[in-house]
Amino acid sequence: MRILPFLFLFLVLTGCKKEATSDVKEESTEKKDVVRFRESYRPQYHFTPPEKWMNDPNGLLFYKDTYHLFYQYYPEDIVWGPMHWGHATSKDLVSWEHQPIALYPDELGYIFSGSAVMDLDNTSGLGTKDNPPMVAIFTHHEPKGEKEGRNDFQYQSIAYSLDEGTTWTKYEGNPVIGNPTSIRDFRDPKVMWHKASQKWILTLVAGDHAKFYSSPDLKSWTYLSDFGKEKGAHGGVWECPDLFPLTVAGSDETKWVLLISMNPGAPNGGSGTQYFIGDFDGTSFTTTQKDIKWLDYGSDNYAGVTYNGLPDNDRTFIGWMSNWNYAQKTPTKNWRSAMTLSRKLTLHKNDAYYLKSYPVPAIEEYTYSSHTYDSITNNYSLTSENFNEMRIDFEIEGDLKDFEVKFSNIANDQLFLGYHKADHSFYVDRRKSGKTNFEPKFAEKVHVAPALNDGNGNTVFSIFMDASSLEFLVDQGATVMTEQLFPTQPYTAMTFTSKDHKMTQVRVSKMKRIWE
């Protein structure tokens, strides 16, 4: 085993950073947008809006080699307001191109969250077989009714595009699902094509549970069933459902997954996403699951959904990288909020079913200038000019015992993450990570996540750090913690501490910027 000498490591990492900084200066004279996207705390390899407010991802759809990301957007301010659908496209789920706003508020209300599908057989009659329509299904939120104290101010509508998402027409028969029983928080429709029944299936949420509907044409919907009034966590309002099949890794068994976001009531406070593993027969979703499962134990992965239009049993997920406890108060100026990295979801089984969530393979193409080390021992520090645009991969061998990784800078900002054997849990401590006083709930406690592994054998870790975010993933996403961070300066040192372990198979890499 060897460890690269400290001085050589410092020169390698800081030297590479100087080269990158030099490139940025040259390009910034050519592209004004590059300067704009160098704002303080602007993530450099995560999606952010060009300016103003963003929240939930919407309408995730893959068609003709293009990934479409729509999202909740308010173009007038950096706090929540009358919702639009913003729009961006990608060829690889990492780099994004901003597109014009897709959907604007109208006489029926604001454009809340929803989904999108390609109606390839033109079941809706809104296009043709040769030019099938892209159909968006969303919640209309009527603000006047809300202010008057009514409960029937949310209902479901559709819009369609015949030019692959460039321009949109609202359906003249909206809403397609009314709200005759006056259900408050009746929203966030996610639609899929169900092959077995040859119908469209729509899942939405109604306060504390999910509802399922079917349709032959995306316009006429029939209620099917409810799920969840006595299942799962109920500490807040249910939001942003997603229903899809996945094959259990290493088997021929297929199960159905139901994602449900909830605010508040997440395990570390505020917003979070739970999931259920069960069966769907075209009418009802059922599960024998007893425990509550969370997709991400960090505080900043909410309202995420998966892509329609991918091959069967292939699911890619994007979440909103924020939390309603403090989303409107984070210390950014011209824009607010980012998305998580695009993540592939896979289904696994040991004593029970569980999901893994890990960045899509294309992220490897954005990893560069990597340096590997056989091992790093107790109290050893690596240094760099900027750990906030980097990725660190490593392993810990054998029975997992206490360890800690600390990121720090000369301003004495300190971020800690690691493992506690006593309670078999991972943790992230951002209480001293930088700017935290914009909202007391941001740094009120250490965030913890129960470990899914048994603590034996080698454990693999990945850390993706961006300008204002951390994604900490264990065993290819069996445990995930996503957290926002606002250091006063970039972290320049990473220190490993453990009496029982060494970091092995260490790879420290820079990440390419997606806005250049």
Burial class (CB in 10 A: 0-12, 13-18, 19+), 50: middle
Q: How many CB atoms lie within 10 A of CB 431?
A: 15
Active site residue 56: yes
The owner of tokens 């069966």 is 279
Cβ–Cβ < 8 Å for 339, 70:
no
Q: Which helix (H) or strand (E) holds 480?
A: strand 479-484
3-state secondary structure of 506: strand
As a whole number of Å, the end-to-end CA separation of the chain is 39
Q: Which residues pair with 426 in a beta bridge?
A: 419, 449
The owner of tokens 């994007």 is 318
Tell me the H-state helices in 262-398: none
Q: How many CB atoms lie within 10 A of CB 32?
A: 9
CA distances from 349 to 246, 258, 277, 315, 476 (A): 12, 16, 11, 17, 14
Cβ–Cβ < 8 Å for 430, 417:
no
Provide CB contacts within 8 A for 33, sequence distance 6+.
Answer: 50, 515
Among the options 56, 188, 242, 300, which is catalytic?
56
What token pair was written down for 134? Answer: 């892209």
Residues annotated catalytic, as ranges: 56
